[in-house]
Amino acid sequence: MNASTLSLIFQSGSALALLLVIALVWRTDLRTDEFRQRLFIIRDELFDYAAHGQIAFEDPAYQLLRNSMNGFIRYAHRLTFFQLVLTIVRWSITEQVHPLTWHSRWTKSLESLPEGTRAAMEAFHGRAMDAVARHIVGGSIVMIVILACMLLKALIAGAWTSVRTLLRDAFERATTKVFDPRLLEEEASRA
């Protein structure tokens, strides 16, 4: 190898490394913006649902869900797998585990709702938590590997009826293996 070939290799490698850093930083900001936009859409649909008289704006279920979404939107830039691991480690070291009261209040608030309204509120909640899980899993190579393992496990087991159910099941298993979704809801409600 002569000096010009080595120079070309070094320049190409440097340019590729710089491009990778720029793409990763840009993609992180883009992912956060996309996540916020998904939650804005769900929150707007929830507002329209209440505006059409399907649920009162003062109803505890509406307020809990809206506050939770607002917390996720406000702190989307800190909603990462790494930050979640740090929170879990901090809680285990200091033994200051906060009681997970949001989920019990949410469940209790749904009990007084008519069946159709309850189902709609659960659907809004499910869509919001799906967006949260997608954001956390999509931003972590560790979570992507865990998701791939869960997909492989589901494929081997053959317990799926469609690609959508396969992905949903693998996604749910990947997230619940690593963290309790109630922890995220609790943190968002405190925001």
- What pLDDT is attached to residue 183? 73
Q: Of the segments 45-49, 75-79, 152-156, 167-171, which one has the largest average pLDDT value? A: 45-49
CB 140 within 8 A of CB 81: yes
- What pLDDT is attached to residue 114? 93
Q: Between 172 and 10, name the one with better pLDDT.
A: 10
Mean per-residue pLDDT for 132-157? 80
- What pLDDT is attached to residue 191? 63
Mean per-residue pLDDT for 158-180? 72
Q: Between 34 and 183, name the one with better pLDDT.
A: 34
In whole angstroms, give the CA distance from residue 155 to residue 115: 35
CB 110 within 8 A of CB 122: yes
DSSP class of 99? P
Mean per-residue pLDDT for 153-168? 74
- What pLDDT is attached to residue 148? 81
Strands (E), the chain: none
In whole angstroms, give the CA distance from residue 43 to residue 172: 22
pLDDT in tens, 16-73: 888 877 766 677 888 899 999 999 999 999 999 999 999 999 999 999 999 999 999 9
Pick from 144, 118, 128: nearest CA to 61: 118
How many other CB atoms are there within 10 angstroms of residue 50's CB atom?
Answer: 16
In whole angstroms, give the CA distance from residue 87 to residue 7: 45
Please report, for residues 8, 26, 121, 139, the alpha-carbon distance to residue 56 in angstroms, rounded to integers and kept in the order given: 66, 40, 12, 36
- 125 pLDDT more than 90: yes
Pick from 26, 67, 6: nearest CA to 189: 67
Domains of the chain, residue spans: 30-190
In whole angstroms, give the CA distance from residue 123 to residue 120: 5
pLDDT in tens, 81-123: 888 888 777 777 776 656 678 888 999 999 999 999 999 999 9
Here the tokens at position 157 are 């087991």
The whole-model pTM stands at: 0.76
- 10 pLDDT more than 70: yes
- What pLDDT is attached to residue 95? 64
